[in-house]
Amino acid sequence: MRRISPLIISVALSLSLTSSLSFADVIKLKLWTLADRTAPMRTVNIEDAAKVMNQQFAAAGIDKKIVIETHASADRGWDDLALDTLKAFAVDQGPDIYLLPHEWIGEFARNGYAMPMDQQITDNAWAYSDILPVLWDAMKYQGKVYAVPQDAEIRMFFYNKDMLRKIGKDEAFIDSIPSRVQSGDFTLDDLTALAKQVVSGGAAKYGMLHRPNVGIDYLMVFSSFGVKFTDDKNGKLQFPEKGVEAALSWYARNVAEGVTPTDNTAMSWDTIQAAFKQQQAFIFHQGIWAMAWQQNNSYGTSWPTDRAGYNHMIGWIPAPAAVKGGKPTNLSHPIAYVVSDKSTNKQIAAQLVAMASLPYYNTRHDVTSYHTAISYTQLSMPEYAQNWALSQASKMMDHLTFVPGHVKFGTYNHVLFQGLQAVETKRMTPAQAVSFIADELKSQLGDDVEITDPVSP
């Protein structure tokens, strides 16, 4: 006798109870995401889960078939996709399943476009019981879960150990850096001082490079200085002036010390990445997906691809603490599956998301796109464990922070980056940049942002 899984029994029950499906042989579900050639499994996983469910329908003698209609948007970024999705829902044309960066979840939940998932998580322990608890925090709005983490990531400072050897640092010193960062003994200013030694010693042209445009990598540095961009009580954006000035002052010191060039934000991505790959830069600050070009022949040079060889040459650390004894910080920006609460097929859509969240599906996404595991089970799966870079990155989940969960943080972040850029190009002092950012935020966001912890005149 063919054994029917509890999953298909659950889906079959939902089918029998959903009148809109009573006479329908084909169940069409719209799936929306951002077009991304480096991460095709975000949609393929849902499509393959539908194939499995169709096979289970057939085995159970249920005359139904799920058809996934995938829309991979050509929008410039996730924020643009989120806005287009909101517009579609406003005219009752929204998808059944869609992908979002986690900071947009609250906006969709607030408007009734995101299905509450707490009961789904409880009822589908087979899929959700071992997802990393910290990731659920990023899926919440007003204390309730409205999405499922589709992937995760870790950002870090990559640094070149060979350059430290060239300036005379011994192996004991080099090996101690990660543990000293974890304990709070090695601070951001210590990192600046070390980078300056590398440049002064002739081992590198650049001490430290970061992304040239608006993004989120640098937010973990602000977090090290105690900056919180939202108020935990009311959920509003906030701009803590003293903390932001302290963080901007660190970037200003990097420029003054000759560690970061004044034109970092005018460089191209290729120039920055090539400088690190060709060993002209001591530190590069980005995320785990940078391993994709570090582990191939990009930029005309090859690095060791085995764990031992790579780790002998390159080290990783989170953002060190701002003060001795403080805590380092890390940053993740998970993409999430969201089920529309307006969908007439939301129970089936939710079951597809559950299936696509199983370790097999997420692991094949992670190893092909260099994202980190969302569940404990993935860590021990052979395909994931054999990818030493992902396994190593997963150990950096301590001190994790997330992009602020506010729909208007994108606007806020653009202004913040303008201030950072002004400081690095020496057009403004940190104090002037803080005043500029505060004025711009009030002008562009009005009552959506509060200026807190003001700098004394």
Beta strands at 330-332 and 144-145: parallel, antiparallel or unpaired: unpaired
294 and 343 fall within a common domain: no
Residue 23 DSSP class: T
Dist CA 382 CA 142 (whole Å) = 38
Dist CA 381 CA 430 (whole Å) = 47
More confident residue, 14 or 244: 244
148 and 61 fall within a common domain: yes
Dist CA 306 CA 310 (whole Å) = 6
φ, ψ dihedrals at 184, nearest 5°:
85, 5
301 and 351 fall within a common domain: no
Query: Is there a domain that residue 140 lies in?
Result: yes
Dist CA 117 CA 344 (whole Å) = 16
Confidence (pTM): 0.86
314 and 175 fall within a common domain: yes
Domain around 246: 155-331+406-452
The CATH number of the domain holding residue 35 is 3.40.190.10
Measured from the Cβ of residue 60, the count of other Cβ atoms closer than 10 Å reads 15
Dist CA 213 CA 272 (whole Å) = 12
Query: Is there a domain that residue 324 lies in?
Result: yes
Q: What pLDDT is attached to residue 398?
A: 77
- Select from 153, 58, 125 the least CA-distant residue to 396: 153
Question: For the chain, first and last CA: distance in Å?
Answer: 80
Q: What pLDDT is attached to residue 234?
A: 85
pLDDT tens-place string over residues 362-372: 999 999 999 99
346 and 318 fall within a common domain: no
Choose one of 395, 424, 440: the last residue of a domain: 395
Which tokens hold the place of 167? 């300036």
Query: Is there a domain that residue 51 lies in?
Result: yes
More confident residue, 5 or 105: 105
Query: Is there a domain that residue 457 lies in?
Result: no
Q: What pLDDT is attached to residue 358?
A: 97
Confidence label for 77 from pLDDT (cuts 50, 70 and 90): confident
Percent of the chain topping pLDDT 90: 83
Indicate if the pLDDT at residue 109 is higher than 60.
yes
Query: Is there a domain that residue 160 lies in?
Result: yes
pLDDT tens-place string over residues 312-350: 999 999 999 999 999 999 998 999 999 999 999 999 999
221 and 210 fall within a common domain: yes
- Select from 70, 34, 35 the least CA-distant residue to 49: 70
Rg of the Cα atoms in the chain = 24
Indicate if the pLDDT at residue 1 is higher than 90.
no
Cβ–Cβ < 8 Å for 275, 160: no
Indicate if the pLDDT at residue 24 is higher than 70.
no
Query: Is there a domain that residue 66 lies in?
Result: yes
pLDDT tens-place string over residues 218-234: 999 999 999 999 998 88
Indicate if the pLDDT at residue 175 is higher than 80.
yes
Query: Is there a domain that residue 1 lies in?
Result: no
Min mean pLDDT across 89-98, 254-263, 284-293, 422-431 is at 284-293
Query: Is there a domain that residue 401 lies in?
Result: no
pLDDT tens-place string over residues 41-63: 999 999 999 999 999 999 999 99
Q: Is 454 helix (H, G, I), strand (E, B) or coil?
A: coil
Beta strands at 330-332 and 400-402: parallel, antiparallel or unpaired: parallel
Q: What pLDDT is attached to residue 227?
A: 96
Q: What pLDDT is attached to residue 10?
A: 53
Dist CA 200 CA 202 (whole Å) = 5
Which tokens hold the place of 185? 């003994």
281 and 295 fall within a common domain: yes
Which tokens hold the place of 319? 């953002």
Percent of the chain topping pLDDT 70: 94
Confidence label for 455 from pLDDT (cuts 50, 70 and 90): confident
322 and 427 fall within a common domain: yes
- Select from 104, 134, 152, 158 the least CA-distant residue to 333: 152
339 and 427 fall within a common domain: no
271 and 163 fall within a common domain: yes
Q: What pLDDT is attached to residue 232?
A: 82
187 and 290 fall within a common domain: yes
Dist CA 366 CA 351 (whole Å) = 21
To 5 degrees, how large is the angle CA 450–CA 456–CA 457? 105
Q: What pLDDT is attached to residue 75?
A: 85
370 and 241 fall within a common domain: no
Cβ–Cβ < 8 Å for 62, 4: no
User: How many domains does the chain fold into?
Assistant: 2
Choose one of 351, 374, 395: the last residue of a domain: 395
Dist CA 182 CA 399 (whole Å) = 9
Which tokens hold the place of 249? 């002052």
Q: What pLDDT is attached to residue 9?
A: 47
Choose one of 395, 416, 434: the last residue of a domain: 395
SS3 content of the chain, % helix, strand, coil (to 5): 50, 15, 35
Cβ–Cβ < 8 Å for 320, 17: no
pLDDT tens-place string over residues 129-145: 999 999 999 999 989 99
